[in-house]
Amino acid sequence: MSSLGVPFTDDALEARVQTGIEEIERQLAIAVDSPEAFVAEAAAHLLNAGGKRFRPLLVMLAAEFGDQAHGDVPRAAVVVELTHLATLYHDDVMDEASMRRGAPSANSRWGNSVAILVGDYLFAQASDLVSDLGPESVRIQARTFSRLVQGQIRETLGPGEGDDQLEHYLSVVADKTGSLIATAARLGAKMAGAPLEVEETLTEFGERIGAAFQLSDDIIDIASETDDSGKTPGTDLREGVPTLPTLLALRSTDPESERLRSLLGKPLTDDAELAEAITLLRSHPAMDEARAYVRAETDAAQALLAKLPESSAREALQLLCTTVATRLG
């Protein structure tokens, strides 16, 4: 596995992508800076805490289907990553999170008001940078931002009366996660001048693999003993946050699942009840059903790649699909 988080079989491709990521990191540091020392510190807080840089990586790989050396490619990746970072500041306020990426969250360190304002600042910086990429990129960014916000609103309000809980949740994942990863692939291809049909295929690929990546996190949160994201396993269960495995378990009607359903119907603030729910859920058919759903999504994403020209970049994206599927256990 490469340090970039995706397997590479082409050393030259890996070197190009690594160089691109290093340039993106340099530009990110500039973008979050400010003459105001406190703003600069707070805006760099999550950036300096690390992260997978999954979205910039996808920008770079999508750019391989055109002129990957075009100077607008790293800028597009910075726009996408700044937008992602901004949503993390806001998400932590919404979730009242105390940790993010193994470090104290901005809201726990400086308060909700500062965290919200810093998120707004990062959105503004992303908007400033995307304006240099042309009107169409501005429109793409605005529509992505709209989906991000609408997804967060729907998550906050929850499903309406008569709505299917699982369908509601999957639509939230599509908007809150899939949309920005789709935009990463789209802008990478667009800035590199890839053919329109390639750009459209990569956009759909990004949407599917992005949702699959988020849903695989749902499974890992239950199945894994440890979590390198700084988030304690079982956190979603403790807070009563719906996830793919829990929603599938709640759909079950067999009498043997009655105890699990009763536990999943509320926040699990009691440690003993949380441990019991995790144990019951790990052995429940809903876990295998959730894994099958995610694998079907990665298979669909991989099928889209068959439409793209054969290349080492396409192979890297195919291996990315395999990585997402195999992390399920």
* Number of Cβ atoms within 10 Å of the Cβ of 327: 15
The verdict on residue 1 lying in a domain is no
* 40/19 Cα distance (integer angstroms): 25
Beta bridge partners of 99: 104
pLDDT tens for the chain, 329 residues: list them. Answer: 565 677 899 999 999 999 999 999 999 999 999 999 999 999 999 999 888 899 999 999 999 999 999 999 999 999 999 999 999 999 889 888 787 877 889 999 999 999 999 999 999 999 999 999 999 999 999 999 999 999 999 999 999 999 999 999 999 999 999 999 999 999 999 999 999 999 999 999 999 999 999 999 999 989 887 654 445 668 788 888 899 999 999 999 999 899 999 999 888 989 999 999 999 999 999 999 999 999 999 999 999 999 999 999 999 999 999 998 888 76
85 φ, ψ (degrees, to nearest 5): -60, -40
The verdict on residue 85 lying in a domain is yes
> Helix or strand or coil: residue 268?
coil
The verdict on residue 3 lying in a domain is no
pLDDT confidence of residue 96:
80
The verdict on residue 5 lying in a domain is no
**Which residue range forms the structural domain that includes residue 241?**
11-326
- CATH number, domain of 122, equals 1.10.600.10
The verdict on residue 4 lying in a domain is no
pLDDT confidence of residue 281:
96
Q: Read off the tokens for 240.
A: 């009563």
The one-letter amino acid at 329: G
The verdict on residue 89 lying in a domain is yes
Instruction: Residue 77: name the closest of 57, 103, 94, 92 by CA.
Output: 57
Instruction: Residue 242: name the closest of 179, 164, 188, 299 by CA.
Output: 164
* 221/64 Cα distance (integer angstroms): 33
Instruction: Residue 59: name the closest of 231, 205, 215 by CA.
Output: 205
Contact 223, 329 (CB under 8 A): yes
Beta bridge partners of 35: none
Contact 145, 180 (CB under 8 A): no
Q: Read off the tokens for 153.
A: 């609103």
pLDDT confidence of residue 228:
47
The verdict on residue 36 lying in a domain is yes
Number of domains in the chain: 1
The verdict on residue 49 lying in a domain is yes
Could you say which DSSP state residue 256 is in? G
pTM over 0.85: yes
Q: Identify the burial level of 39 via C-beta atoms within 10 angstroms of its C-beta, where 0-12 means exposed, 13-18 middle and 19 or more buried.
A: middle
